[in-house]
Amino acid sequence: MIGPDIAGIAEKLGAAADSATAIPQLAAETGLDVDAAYAVQTALVQRRLDRGERLVGLKMGLTSKAKMAQVGVDEVIWGRLTDVMRVPDGGSVDVSDFIHPRVEPEVAFLLDRLPEPGEPVGAFTDAVRAVAPAIELIDSRYANFTFSLPDVIADNTSAAAFVIGPWSPVPDGLDNLGVLLEIDGRVAQVGSTAAILGDPRRALDEGIRLAGRHGVRLREGWVFLAGAATAAVPLRPGAHVRAVVEKLGTVSLKAAA
Ligand code: OOG
Ligand code: MG
């Protein structure tokens, strides 16, 4: 049997992102399962690397119940981050570069030396050099921000842009820090880092395990996004977005008017 056209699907998703134009879901029609969807994601990210982008990290998706419920998919997923997706803290994006962008508050880790495959994962403080509050801008390439599990994996887990706040040394506990997402000074979402797999440190174990299944190793110096603590909120032109994580501080993003 001939399998799904991995390169062709990656090209469609890449063109949708480049032109900020939504496309219909494609997993059901093309018979894409989870493994084939990660192969599409690899080809989709390779398309970015081929034009000079650099891989700078990994992101987790659907590590909180709030996110799973919002998109109706209940499996933890992972995607790749490139240098071009990074927006400086306090920087701005143009909403018209995206289809239907949403923002969500996250916790970021700066990775230190990670174990070789087969070696046990050591202490969290050995694997992570620093932590920071972060904002992820997600933008599903599918119409109505609606997708199945293989669809969202193929679409690099809706990754579009991200902002990292100031790095701090790893605090004693990360498992119950208050999280706020503010839009134009008003609280839009409230949560806790406990929403991220009970403790965002678990997201790193999951990331190492799940990406490892597809032959991807996390690297020293990479950024790791542990997943949103709350549901995502649409990003409107002119909006000022701020995420606050207790003990870690704030990070902000503007949308050009
Ligand atoms: C999928 C990506 C989810 C997160 O933090 O949970 C994600 C989506 O919601 O479109 O990035
Ligand atoms: Mg996210």
Given the DSSP bridges, would you call strands 102-111 and 233-234 parallel, antiparallel or unpaired?
Answer: antiparallel
**Amino acid at position 240, single letter:** H
Task: Report the residue among 136, 144, 147 best suited for mutation to probe ligand 1: largest number of ligand atoms under 8 A from its CB.
Answer: 136
pLDDT given at position 98 = 98
CA atoms of 1 and 6, how far apart (whole Å):
14
pLDDT given at position 1 = 55
Give 17: exposed, middle or buried? Use CB within 10 Å, 0-12, 13-18, 19+: buried
**Are the beta carbons of 223 and 110 closer than 8 angstroms?**
yes
Rounded to 10°, the helix 6-19/34-50 angle is 60
pLDDT given at position 160 = 98
pLDDT given at position 105 = 98
Residue located nearest, by CA, to atom 10 of ligand 1: 158
Neighbouring CB atoms inside 10 A of 172's CB total 6
**pTM for this predicted structure:** 0.96
CA atoms of 257 and 250, how far apart (whole Å):
22
pLDDT by residue for the chain (257 residues), tens digit each? 578 999 999 999 999 999 999 999 999 999 999 999 999 999 999 999 999 999 999 999 999 999 999 999 999 999 999 999 999 999 999 999 999 999 999 999 999 988 776 677 678 888 999 999 999 999 999 999 999 999 999 999 999 999 999 999 999 899 999 999 999 999 999 999 999 999 999 999 999 999 999 999 999 999 999 999 999 999 999 999 999 999 999 999 999 99
Which residues form the pocket of ligand 1, taking CB atoms under 6 Å from any ligand atom? 61-63, 67, 71, 104, 136, 138, 140, 152, 157-158, 227-228
pLDDT given at position 123 = 80
